[in-house]
Amino acid sequence: MMNVIVTGAEGQLGSELRAASRNSANNYVFTDVCRLSGADTSYLDITDAASVKAFFLSRKADVIVNCAAYTNVDKAEDDAAAADLLNRQAVRNIALAAIDCGATVIHISTDYVFGGDGRVPYKENDAKNPLGVYGRTKLAGEEELVGSGCKAIIIRTAWLYSPYGKNFVKTMASLMATRQEVGVVADQVGSPTCAEDLAAFIYGIIEKGMLGHTGVYHYTDAGVVSWFDFAREICRLGGWDCAVKPLRSSEFPSKVRRPHYSVLDKSKTAETFGVEVPYWKDSLARCLPKIK
Ligand SMILES: NC(=O)c1ccc[n+]([C@@H]2O[C@H](COP(=O)([O-])OP(=O)(O)OC[C@H]3O[C@@H](n4cnc5c(N)ncnc54)[C@H](OP(=O)(O)O)[C@@H]3O)[C@@H](O)[C@H]2O)c1
Q: Where are the domains of the chain?
A: 3-158+194-221+263-278
Q: Which residues pair with 32 in a beta bridge?
A: 43
**CA 239 – ligand 1 centroid, Å:** 30
Q: Are 116 and 262 in contact (CB under 8 A)?
A: yes
User: Cβ neighbours of residue 130 under 8 Å, at least 6 residues apart?
Assistant: 112, 113, 114, 115, 136, 138, 139
* Helix runs in the chain, H state only: 12-20, 49-58, 73-76, 80-84, 90-101, 133-148, 168-178, 195-207, 227-238, 267-273, 280-291
Residues 105, 97: Cα–Cα separation, whole Å = 10
- Please tell me the distance between residue 243's alpha carbon and the centre of ligand 1 in angstroms: 31
Distance CA 166, CA 57 (A): 33
User: CA–CA separation, 280 vs 164, rounded Å?
Assistant: 18
Q: Of the residues 134, 161, 164, 219, which is catalytic?
A: 134
| Predicted local confidence at residue 36, as pLDDT | 74
| The predicted structure's pLDDT at residue 254 | 85
How many other CB atoms sit within 10 Å of the CB of residue 181?
A: 10
Cα distances from 67 to residues 6, 21, 71, 226, 285, in angstroms, run: 7, 15, 10, 26, 25
Euclidean distance between CA atoms 247 and 263, whole angstroms:
20
Active site residue 134: yes
- Residue 56's pLDDT is 98
The upper half-sphere exposure of residue 124, i.e. CA atoms within 13 Å in the direction of its Cβ, equals 17
CA of 264 to the centre of ligand 1 (A): 20
Spatial separation of the C-alpha atoms in residues 61 and 98, rounded to whole Å: 8
Give me the residues of the chain with pLDDT under 70, please. none
DSSP codes joined into one string, 192-221: -EEHHHHHHHHHHHHHTT-TT--EEEE---
**Residue ranges around ligand 1 (CB below 6 Å):** 7-8, 10-13, 32-34, 45-47, 67-69, 71, 86, 108, 110, 138, 157-160, 165
Q: What is the model's pTM?
A: 0.98
**pLDDT confidence of residue 44:** 97
CA of 25 to the centre of ligand 1 (A): 26
Whole-angstrom distance, CA of residue 95 vs CA of residue 103: 9
Instruction: Say if domain 3-158+194-221+263-278 classifies as CATH 3.40.50.720.
Output: yes
- Pocket mutation for ligand 1, best pick of 71, 110, 157, 280 (most atoms within 8 Å of C-beta): 71
